[in-house]
Amino acid sequence: IQGGSGFNVLINDNPNVPFAEPISFVVNSTPGNTNNATYRVRLGKNQVLSLPNITGIEGSRVENEAPTTNIQKFNGSIYLEGQNIFTFKQDLNGSTLDFKHVINGVSIEGQSTNQNGVVSTTLKSPFAQKFTF
């Protein structure tokens, strides 16, 4: 995964609009930093996505309501590890997804568990908390 890589996604999580909204992302890199972004499959079949040096993830929603235009910008690192990190919610009962992120200087670490399509996430940091959705 090279610095400057970009991708677009459509999301349909906004109840205020009846259509999918486009979000654009660019994964930048810091000049001189040799930490490479990687995707690999380990011997035990665990997949690992590591984006250690993100200088900008930006996105904006179509819905531009006052007081903001819904533009967000993040920097830091993203780390995901599990059997099927891209299809985790559709994965087998009991599968887990480990994550370690640093977003705008805040460390977020924890594990999500899929129980028949219901995902429970337990945070280790920045505070201990459990969420189910």
pLDDT tens-digit profile, the chain (133 residues): 566 666 677 776 667 767 776 666 666 655 556 567 778 898 888 999 888 777 666 666 656 566 566 677 777 888 999 998 988 888 878 899 999 999 888 999 999 999 988 899 999 998 888 887 6
How far apart, in Å, are the Cα atoms of 40 and each of 52, 68, 88?
A: 14, 38, 16
What distance in Å separates the CA atoms of residue 41 and residue 48, rounded to the nearest whole number? 6
- Which of left, alpha, beta for 67 (phi over 0: left; psi -120 to 50: alpha)? alpha
Report field, pTM of the whole predicted structure over 0.75:
no
